[in-house]
Structure 1
Amino acid sequence: MILLNDLILSYEQDRNQHPDSPDALLDYCQQKYIYGEIEVGNYRKIYQYLHSQGATSSHEIT
Structure 2
Amino acid sequence: MLNELLDAFEMEHKFAPQTIDNLLDYCQKKYIHGEIDLKTYRAFYNCLHEKGAVSAHEMSIEKKV
- Same fold by TM-score greater than 0.5: yes
Matching residue's letter, 2:36: I
Q: Which has the higher contact order (CA 8 A, sep 6+)?
A: 1
Q: TM-score, normalised by structure 1?
A: 0.90
CA RMSD of aligned residues (A): 0.8
| Cross-structure match for 1:16 | 14
Q: In the alignment, residue 45 of structure 2 is paired with which amino acid?
A: Y
Matching residue within 16, 33, 36 for 1:35:
33
1:49 corresponds to: 47
Task: Write the distance in 1 (CA, Å) between the matches of 2:2 and 2:13.
Answer: 16
Give the percent of matched residue pairs that are identical in Structure 1 and Structure 2.
Answer: 48
Q: What are structure 1's unaligned runs of at least 5 residues?
A: none
Aligned length: 60
Deviation, 1:4, is: 1.6
Greater helix content:
2
